[in-house]
Amino acid sequence: MSNIEYSEQEVLRRESLAKLRELGIEPYPAALYPVNETAQSIKDQYDPEKGNLTDVCIAGRIMSRRIMGAASFMELQDETGRMQVYVKRDEICPGEDKTMYNTVFKKLLDIGDIVGIKGFAFITQTGQLSVHAKELTLLSKSLKVLPIVKTDADGTVHDGFSDPEMRYRQRYVDLIVNPQVKETFIKRAQIVATMREYFNEAGCLEVETPILQSIPGGATARPFVTHHNALDIPLYLRIANELYLKRLIVGGYNGVYEFAKDFRNEGMDKTHNPEFTCMEIYVAYKDYIWMMEFVEKMLERISLKVNGTTEVQIGEHKVDFKPPYRRLPILDAIREYAGVDVSGMDEDELRATCRKLNVEIEPSMGKGKLIDAIFGEYAEKNLIEPTYIIDYPVEMSPLTKRHRTNPALTERFELFVCGKELANAYSELNDPIDQLERFEEQARLKSKGDDEAMFIDYDFVRALEYGMPPTSGLGMGIDRLTMFMTGQSTIQDVLFFPQMKPEKSLKKEEKEQ
């Protein structure tokens, strides 16, 4: 027995559902419906002089109706947009029985119902392109009442479905009543497709690597942990796919990439979701300088594909993705924006500097995180135009090759746009002895309480011992890239279903059941 309480309108819709079945009309038919046109294709193809599109079959959701006497209008919405439909009683009910029009169409159908229409395209007396219905079929009865969003003659939206909590939790409703939202996700698909095309042209192979991992490697982050019953071992949802992709470089592939779902058991805000999509690519016989040029050309190509220009409006800033991008060493960035020179400082000196600069720190932080904290507090927010922050101290980069001219630094860059990190790249560390020492330093930090420090991955060290060629690697967040390319201010606006707190009413209902 259900404990769900229905509104008055929901009760009426369920009564209409029962009446439809009493009339022998199945509200959820299983048969194929032969759609041959869309709202947009009709707009693109119809020529009133030729009188074409005489056999149109479209399907969509009823978004509005004007019920009159023996003839009425309704607006149908499909994936491509809206189309007006003219419904005449004697056309859809050519015989004596007028039930389909007088009872079904006028009384038992509701806004939100999905229907199919067969007919022909024409121009009304008021000059509006429409479909003249010859046949109407109910394809799915809507039992929930849609929010009615209205736009007046001045373009002002009334009663909009605009509350972020509701939009993200009920994305299906958001997509119905705010069709412009679809454009963001269409652009997201274009971004990914453009990247694939670019990588494939460069001779790289798309691969898949494990999501469940015995060691969560490739990044400094807190993992999600689960348990494998058959093996009786803990497993982790991957925080990155880096170490597996580099194993493939060891195995002989010259270029591999993956669009990966990664998971990090950390905070949520406007730019972070615990589940996110990251693209990682590794190319043998390249370095981080080559990768900078590779990324610049890729982002220029993506921006042109998605927006038709390299200039993108991101919040209050207009950002140009046209190369080249500024290259700024991280220690120079701290010197420029924080006014201090931290090069050569030991851990105690860095802690004192953080206190002097009012930078919040934790006792578990080592040199790398202390430097990163100063950079994050003072420099990041100033990096509006695409900027490569390069040459990180070795303590900040446990998987990165030491700099060719300064062994205290590494050959690493992070790309920043509008004060946010977009990409992270290295000349990859391929010295197995150095790599093991870096892992052991991470283990020391973990023992001090840093739960984001890396585990020691002995199998990865073993892979390096077989020899990995000089390699350049890149990780780029697809969600954040989509935010930038579509001008969205929150990550929730570029995820169909962002992580949310449990809905109170649903949680209560689950307990009762």
Task: Label each residue of 356-404 as H, E or C.
Answer: HCCCCCCCCCCHHHHHHHHHHHHCHHHCCCCEEEECCEHHHCCCECECC
pLDDT recorded at residue 267: 87
Same domain? 87 vs 186: no
Residue 239 and residue 216 in contact, taking contact as beta carbons nearer than 8 Å: yes
Q: What mean pLDDT value characterizes the chain?
A: 93
Query: Of all residues in the chain, what percent carry a pLDDT higher than 70?
Result: 96
Question: Does residue 478 fall inside a structural domain?
Answer: yes
Residue 312 and residue 487 in contact, taking contact as beta carbons nearer than 8 Å: yes
pLDDT recorded at residue 396: 87
Question: Does residue 202 fall inside a structural domain?
Answer: yes
Question: Does residue 70 fall inside a structural domain?
Answer: yes
Residue 134 and residue 92 in contact, taking contact as beta carbons nearer than 8 Å: yes
> Does the pLDDT at position 473 exceed 80?
yes
User: Looking at 128, 146, 164, which one is the last position of a domain?
Assistant: 146
Same domain? 200 vs 122: no
What's the pTM value of the predicted model, to 2 decimals?
A: 0.90
Which residues, in sequence order, are CB contacts of 51 under 8 Å at separation 6+?
none
Tens digits of per-residue pLDDT, 230-286?
Answer: 999 999 999 999 999 999 999 999 999 999 999 999 988 988 999 999 999 999 999
Which has the closest alpha carbon to 415: 495, 314, 299? Answer: 299
Tokens 């330093």 sit at which residue?
A: 441
Q: How confident is the model at residue 474 (pLDDT cuts 50, 70, 90)?
A: very high
Same domain? 107 vs 190: no
CA–CA distance, 241 with 32 (Å, rounded to integer)? 42
Question: Does residue 170 fall inside a structural domain?
Answer: no
CATH number of the domain where residue 28 is located: 2.40.50.140
Tens digits of per-residue pLDDT, 305-336?
Answer: 999 999 999 999 999 999 999 999 999 999 99
Question: Does residue 356 fall inside a structural domain?
Answer: no
Query: Of all residues in the chain, what percent carry a pLDDT higher than 90?
Result: 82
* Number of neighbours of residue 233 by Cβ within 10 angstroms: 9
pLDDT recorded at residue 4: 85
pLDDT recorded at residue 92: 95
Question: Does residue 443 fall inside a structural domain?
Answer: yes
Q: What share of the chain is helix, strand, coil (3-state, %, to 5)?
A: 35, 25, 40
Q: How confident is the model at residue 503 (pLDDT cuts 50, 70, 90)?
A: confident
- The whole-number average pLDDT for the span 452-468 is 93
CATH number of the domain where residue 239 is located: 3.30.930.10
pLDDT recorded at residue 399: 85
Same domain? 412 vs 465: yes
Which residues, in sequence order, are CB contacts of 48 under 8 Å at separation 6+?
122, 123
Question: Does residue 296 fall inside a structural domain?
Answer: yes
> Does the pLDDT at position 218 exceed 50?
yes
Residue 69 belongs to domain spanning: 8-146
Same domain? 231 vs 141: no
The secondary structure of residue 323, as a DSSP letter, is S
The secondary structure of residue 23, as a DSSP letter, is T
Higher pLDDT, 448 or 324: 324
Same domain? 89 vs 45: yes
| Best-predicted range by mean pLDDT (145-154, 211-220, 234-243, 441-450) | 234-243
User: Looking at 124, 146, 168, which one is the last position of a domain?
Assistant: 146
Same domain? 198 vs 295: yes
pLDDT recorded at residue 152: 66
Same domain? 261 vs 402: yes
Same domain? 317 vs 248: yes
Q: How confident is the model at residue 513 (pLDDT cuts 50, 70, 90)?
A: very low
Which has the closest alpha carbon to 118: 100, 132, 104, 99? Answer: 132
Tens digits of per-residue pLDDT, 369-398?
Answer: 999 999 999 999 999 999 999 999 988 888
Question: Does residue 310 fall inside a structural domain?
Answer: yes
Residue 403 and residue 393 in contact, taking contact as beta carbons nearer than 8 Å: no
Same domain? 206 vs 135: no
CA–CA distance, 469 with 285 (Å, rounded to integer)? 6
> Does the pLDDT at position 511 exceed 80?
no
Domain count, the chain: 2
Q: Which of 17-21, 92-96, 201-205, 453-457 has the lowest mean pLDDT?
A: 453-457
- The whole-number average pLDDT for the span 420-429 is 96
pLDDT recorded at residue 99: 94
Residue 90, burial from CB neighbour count under 10 angstroms (0-12, 13-18, 19+): exposed
User: Looking at 146, 171, 194, which one is the last position of a domain?
Assistant: 146
Could you give the strand order of the β-sheet that contains 233-237, starting from the edge strand earlier in sequence? 212-213, 233-237, 225-228
Same domain? 93 vs 222: no
Same domain? 97 vs 13: yes
